[in-house]
Structure 1
């Protein structure tokens, strides 16, 4: 995992500052999905710039209930793009590598009822048009928005049931020591009822269900 992180996700992956490295990262994710035996799709979508497209990479492990009323989707996702001048190891290379490892492990167990989907999002990062030039995405999560609102409806004839989705971000920035980290203000409200931990538990449980 360290080798993968250093080789493919340790430099800026941005359409302005390092477009070639970003494209290589996308291709690496695509090729890994294929190597693991996932049905792999590339979701190309337009941005604010006519010469720049975003690329989401989707890997699907179909269960025996795929495309039936009994199918339940479990998702694991992470974005692979970065800001202009950040190396993107923590944000968000570590999460991409973790997602790839999860895909490899789940794919090694061929018999499952539910469908598991792995998605590497492009253009999660955004920029303000008043501060920099050549802005491709001017709002948060352009790639995931396109995936949810355009790719998913085009792939499935009817909206599937979703058991849970684990979206990983900056997972190296973690400390188990009590009171060492704080939730952002909006999340503090949810944490009062245990939503944060509940979502994580549901996601792991969903992966277990998918492999049952």
Structure 2
């Protein structure tokens, strides 16, 4: 999810509230993924290609180990090579649901929450999907590069490249879910902020929830996903819908799927509206809550796998 960076017709099977997934999320694995992503020699930003590539290789290896069919989507920006990493589950053809998370960081910081937590959730979801006996449609997991400034809101974002390729290929996309900063929680009062002050009277001041955010007019996919995710989750979930111009509503990879006419939602801990370590060197693993990150993944599994 981005702010200013100082560095250069859905088939969802809704279970009962708090439905239990077939397999629980493994918090040890979630932690291991974030450790791997935050332990590259240099921060994994566009200036440090070796570290970006190390992160990409790790993601590809984990997707393969989970039983996905991993592929790469390479492209060049300013003469430099970058790549998205993709993994597929379910039928080889037919309608697709995209679930994505960016693996690059903003500037010289470890990016444990932004967005190590989102990538860790993506990889753990892959492991859980591989254990499902049957999936009703194709699920495409994507780890994006170049989400952060200076490429945010440009055609160089990995998610723009991916969404554009889907449109050119005529792939039927039911919807997209962006996993962005999912591991930071604070149960104290007055730890949650909002783009508009009065929203605190609706959503509360404790930063103890995840939110499904989307713009007005996002279609059936967004409505169904938000409703079913909230019912499935064993942690608090807030459903938030607003005009696309509201600050934060489009601050991640889902915005590029809107650009190509695909419905898309953002699943997040609200990033800088809660986490004061956002885009700072202090965005470290020890500040994250693996248990609640695991619960967020489990609810996602229930929704997308129809379990």
TM range (shorter): 0.7 to 0.9
Tell me what 1:14 maps to: 45
| TM-score (structure 1 length as normaliser) | 0.74
Q: What root-mean-square deviation, in Å, do the aligned CA atoms of Structure 1 and Structure 2 show?
A: 2.9
Q: Deviations over 1:56-95 (max 9, x none)?
A: 11111023xx42xxx4422221100012201111111111
Q: Distance in 1 between matches of 2:152 and 2:134?
A: 42
Q: CA deviation at 1:161?
A: 3.9
Tell me what 1:159 maps to: 171
Q: Distance in 1 between matches of 2:228 and 2:74?
A: 30
1:168 alignment partner, SS class: strand
Checking the alignment, whether the CA contact within 8 Å between 2:128 and 2:301 is kept in structure 1 is no
Tell me what 2:294 maps to: none
Q: CA deviation at 1:196?
A: 2.7
Q: Which has the higher contact order (CA 8 A, sep 6+)?
A: 2
Q: Distance in 1 between matches of 2:122 and 2:188?
A: 25
Q: CA deviation at 1:139?
A: 3.5
Q: Distance in 2 between matches of 1:72 and 1:207?
A: 19
Q: Distance in 1 between matches of 2:163 and 2:212?
A: 22
Number of residue pairs the alignment of both structures matches: 186
Q: Distance in 1 between matches of 2:49 and 2:116?
A: 16
Residue pairs, 1:52-201, within 5 angstroms: 52-63=80-91, 66-67=92-93, 71-127=94-150, 137=151, 139=153, 142-150=157-165, 152-153=166-167, 156=169, 158-162=170-174, 164-175=175-186, 180-184=191-195, 196=213, 199-201=225-227
Q: Deviations over 1:121-160 (max 9, x none)?
A: 0000022xxxxxxxxx36357111111012x245x5x331
Q: Distance in 1 between matches of 2:173 and 2:52?
A: 33
Query: 1:25 and 1:207, CA in 2 relative to 1: closer, same or farther beyond 3 A?
Result: same
Checking the alignment, whether the CA contact within 8 Å between 1:58 and 1:118 is kept in structure 2 is yes
Tell me what 1:43 maps to: 73
Checking the alignment, whether the CA contact within 8 Å between 2:98 and 2:173 is kept in structure 1 is no
Q: Distance in 1 between matches of 2:34 and 2:50?
A: 17
Query: 1:44 and 1:3, CA in 2 relative to 1: closer, same or farther beyond 3 A?
Result: same
Q: Distance in 2 between matches of 1:113 and 1:122?
A: 28
Runs of 4+ in 1 over 3 A off after TM superposition: 138-141, 174-180, 197-212
Q: Distance in 1 between matches of 2:187 and 2:96?
A: 30
Checking the alignment, whether the CA contact within 8 Å between 1:57 and 1:121 is kept in structure 2 is yes
Q: Distance in 2 between matches of 1:205 and 1:24?
A: 27
| TM-score (structure 2 length as normaliser) | 0.53
Checking the alignment, whether the CA contact within 8 Å between 2:146 and 2:158 is kept in structure 1 is yes
Q: Deviations over 1:94-136 (max 9, x none)?
A: 1101110011001111312211111100000022xxxxxxxxx
